[in-house]
Structure 1
Amino acid sequence: MPQPMTPAAPFPPARAPQAANPALSRGRIFAEPDSPSRTPFQRDRDRVIHSAAFRRLAHKTQVFIPHEGDHYRTRLTHSIEVGQISRALARALGLDEDLAEAVALAHDLGHTPFGHAGEEALDAKMTPYGGFDHNAQTLRIVAKLERRYAAFDGLNLSYETLEGLVKHNGPLLTANGAPTRRHAKRGVPGAILEFDAGFALDLQTCAGLEAQAAALADDIAYDAHDIDDGLRAGLLALDAVRAAPFLRDLGREIEALHPRLEPARFIHELTRRLITRFIEDAIAESRRRIEASGVASFDEARRWGAPLVGFSPAMEAAEREIKRFLMKSLYRSPPLMRDRERAGVIVAGLFEHFFARSEALPPEWAKAAAAAGADAARRARVVCDYIAGMTDRYATIEHGRIFDEAPNLL
């Protein structure tokens, strides 16, 4: 009979001093009684899962628009995979798994239909009115646009989860209040600054280590699963994958252990080994950084000034290599570029139509647009919120209903 495996070290480890402590949460915008059965971060995760915005991710593009097939990742399956990886990282580092998972599951709520193509089209239309940023849109959803609870709009998430959503990619402002490099060209999105004015998120500091784990998990999931989907779709060739040095080495490992493995199993084995290699490197490197930093609390980790959860220099180089490979070989492939162009036409057409005829919006949205009066920016934001919340299918059907000639992406 198979023998049970013995862990090499206590698993999971004790809670690290740098972990977020749910008992010491900074609280919520609207005070609520404590739950007798769940921590604040567990409640946050559950609220995200039960939100309408989370359900809609099932019908929003990750890379492949749904007409390509039923087996490719959507925003929902991607978010679930990011949640799983973030929990693995948090568990190994002694962090709060529930907070890491809450940030991971919510991080893509603000994405438009049709992935980055939809975001670029909507941002172009919103440029005169403050632009569009999916991270800022996520904040709008969890703080305002979800309308489920009797006592408040939004999900009323805890401070630590909100901070993680806004800052999982790093600080937004420098110590002197200027936008960081990521936001130097266009400034910090207005929705984030407006929210921060009423519920300060310390935009000059890093997010906690749980949010940093969620951000790294996002990169791991993107790289591994886009390779998986690209190979299964036939847009990436195994020979091309083997040409990338890091992936080539993984392929050689598989071929040495499993000669003449059928392609479907080879692809899965490549994906799982890639994820494992990323996670194991991140755990070792993050432990090294945390120990070297000397930080001894959640707040000290936030104020450290650089991420403490990350890859080693060698793995960072490998990850950049994979991203370059995917950009050249997958994301810019002719079939995906054609779909991106069609998706942009749909999103741009919907915005132009509803901005010019906001009375044609569904009643609740039409009422909000009418309340904007002569304020074009405010009316544009209502239209933007409506379109950003659409699924791929709904956006395509709406465009076909409105226009005689419409790209078919179903």
Structure 2
Amino acid sequence: MLDLAPYACHPAATRGRRYPETPAPTRTEYQRDRDRIVHSTAFRRLVYKTQVFLNHEGDLFRTRLTHSLEVAQLGRSIARSLRVNEDLVEAISLAHDLGHTPFGHAGQDALHGCMAEHGGFEHNLQSLRVVDKLEERYPQYDGLNLTFESREGVLKHCSRQHAQQLEREEPGGVGARFLRREQPSLEAQLCNLADEIAYNAHDIDDGVRSGLITLAQLQDVPLFDQYRAAAQAEYPDLVQPLLQRRLLFEAIRRMLSAQVYDVIDATQAALARHAPTDVQAVRQSPSLVMFGDAMRARSLELKQFLFKNLYRHPRVMETTGRAQEVVRDLFAAYTASPQEMKAAFAEQASVDCGPLRARAVADFIAGMTDRFAAREHERLTGRRLFD
């Protein structure tokens, strides 16, 4: 028996699926969503899609798959304390990056530029396209036929133009909240914040592992350094060079725990202030899942540090440039010669030479792993941009 708060998403009260299905005898609707996501092709591809460091740069750096698992773990931990639906949080967490391009944000930015005349490219909207249309697993319909609540959580951000398009296709559906200026469920809000907590922490780890940032530099980041100092005071031997990795891990562990507890405390306080009685009241309230003011300020300082010292590091920027070149070259090649794509995408691209072809090309590229995109680029251009 689920011990859920009144403001949580109760699976028996789901707004349902686009194509009605008989309930499963042993699983709730959100458990079914999670299972469909885990078994999807797009989910498996995440293991070879990059976070900050490209897939060929090392075996131990985070990928979209490991990131999604970390978001799910953090999300479930917080969800249990708030008595919201853990299964829905897990489903959204595992699906939230399914629409990401190869080569991380570099690939996304390049593909958005290629699609500028055809509505652009938004990875959140692409994640929805994956679960609604692009997965091909069932004889009755395209996509995974997830519940409304999981689909709503996947669509974290959406431009007004795209929300209006979604509303025309599905009146009162997942695009409506952006037009009504409503919030998503608490479970979706929680996944958004767990995403931020996860990538800040693992980007510190990967940044130090890569040698692009150092523990000495991180002493200028209060959110991290207070836990580094506390760990070092408790375990003085960690100052030894061979134990520096343990010091890093312990500091990150403490930082993560502090952020989780802060979110729980701040969110419980917000719930007490606004007292939502059900999911609809949550939607009409301000965002309720949050950091406290002090933690939010320290988290912002950490993000600014990572942006300056890691994401804009010359080595990262150099690979970013090559990654964007790959995506732009692939887009141009497939647009000119759609037959070079896999058959299903080539068939869609043959409908016209305008927006439908461009969207089919974008769908094909967005679904690629880093290494497949690099191989395709070499095949089509004769140039190898990555060793």
TM-score > 0.5 by shorter chain: yes
With the shorter chain as reference, the TM-score category is: over 0.9
Question: Corresponding residue for 1:296?
Answer: 277
Are 2:241 and 1:260 aligned? no
Runs of 4+ off more than 2 Å: 187-202
Are 2:356 and 1:378 aligned? yes
Are 2:93 and 1:115 aligned? no
Are 2:162 and 1:188 aligned? yes
Aligned partners of 1:351 and 1:191: how far apart in 2? Answer: 24
Are 2:264 and 1:283 aligned? yes
Aligned length: 380
1:314-362 deviation digits (Å, cap 9, x = unpaired):
1110110000000011000011101100100101000000001112222
Displacement, 1:233? 1.0
The amino acid that maps onto 1:390 is M
The amino acid that maps onto 1:266 is L
Aligned partners of 1:290 and 1:44: how far apart in 2? Answer: 27
Q: Unmatched 5+ residue regions in structure 2?
A: none
Q: 2:16 aligns with which of 7, 24, 27?
A: 27
Are 2:70 and 1:81 aligned? yes
Q: 1:336 aligns with which of 304, 310, 316?
A: 316
Aligned partners of 2:166 and 2:212: how far apart in 1? Answer: 38
Decide whether the 8 Å contact of 1:112 with 1:390 is kept in 2: yes
CA distance change for structure 1 residues 281 and 391 in 2, over 3 Å: closer, same or farther?
same
Question: Corresponding residue for 2:222?
Answer: 245
Aligned partners of 1:326 and 1:247: how far apart in 2? Answer: 12
The amino acid that maps onto 2:33 is D
Question: Percent identity among equivalent residues?
Answer: 43
Displacement, 1:196? 3.7
Q: 1:15 aligns with which of 4, 15, 20?
A: 4
The amino acid that maps onto 1:366 is A
Question: Corresponding residue for 1:43?
Answer: 32
* TM-score, length of structure 2 as denominator length: 0.95
Any residues of structure 2 matched to 1:210-229 within 5 Å, and which?
Answer: 210-229=187-206
CA distance change for structure 1 residues 190 and 132 in 2, over 3 Å: closer, same or farther?
farther
Q: Unmatched 5+ residue regions in structure 1?
A: 1-11, 173-182
Decide whether the 8 Å contact of 1:139 with 1:192 is kept in 2: no
Displacement, 1:189? 5.9
Decide whether the 8 Å contact of 1:346 with 1:406 is kept in 2: no
Displacement, 1:405? 2.3
The amino acid that maps onto 2:206 is D
In proportion to residue count, which structure has more helix? 2
Question: Corresponding residue for 2:295?
Answer: 315
Q: 2:340 aligns with which of 353, 360, 363?
A: 360
The amino acid that maps onto 2:352 is G
Question: Corresponding residue for 1:66?
Answer: 55
1:283-305 deviation digits (Å, cap 9, x = unpaired):
0000000011021111111111x
1:61-90 deviation digits (Å, cap 9, x = unpaired):
011112221001000000010011110111
Displacement, 1:198? 7.5
Displacement, 1:13? 9.8
Displacement, 1:246? 2.1
Question: Corresponding residue for 1:202?
Answer: 176
Q: 2:365 aligns with which of 365, 372, 387?
A: 387
CA distance change for structure 1 residues 200 and 223 in 2, over 3 Å: closer, same or farther?
closer
Decide whether the 8 Å contact of 2:166 with 2:175 is kept in 1: no
Aligned partners of 2:172 and 2:333: how far apart in 1? Answer: 34
Aligned partners of 1:111 and 1:146: how far apart in 2? Answer: 14
Aligned partners of 2:131 and 2:55: how far apart in 1? Answer: 26
Aligned partners of 1:367 and 1:378: how far apart in 2? Answer: 11
Aligned partners of 2:132 and 2:342: how far apart in 1? Answer: 22
Are 2:80 and 1:101 aligned? no
The amino acid that maps onto 2:86 is E
Decide whether the 8 Å contact of 1:146 with 1:154 is kept in 2: yes
Aligned partners of 2:188 and 2:253: how far apart in 1? Answer: 23
Q: 1:403 aligns with which of 376, 381, 384?
A: 381
Aligned partners of 1:65 and 1:360: how far apart in 2? Answer: 25
Displacement, 1:165? 1.4
Decide whether the 8 Å contact of 2:166 with 2:174 is kept in 1: no
Aligned partners of 1:133 and 1:114: how far apart in 2? Answer: 15
* TM-score, length of structure 1 as denominator length: 0.90
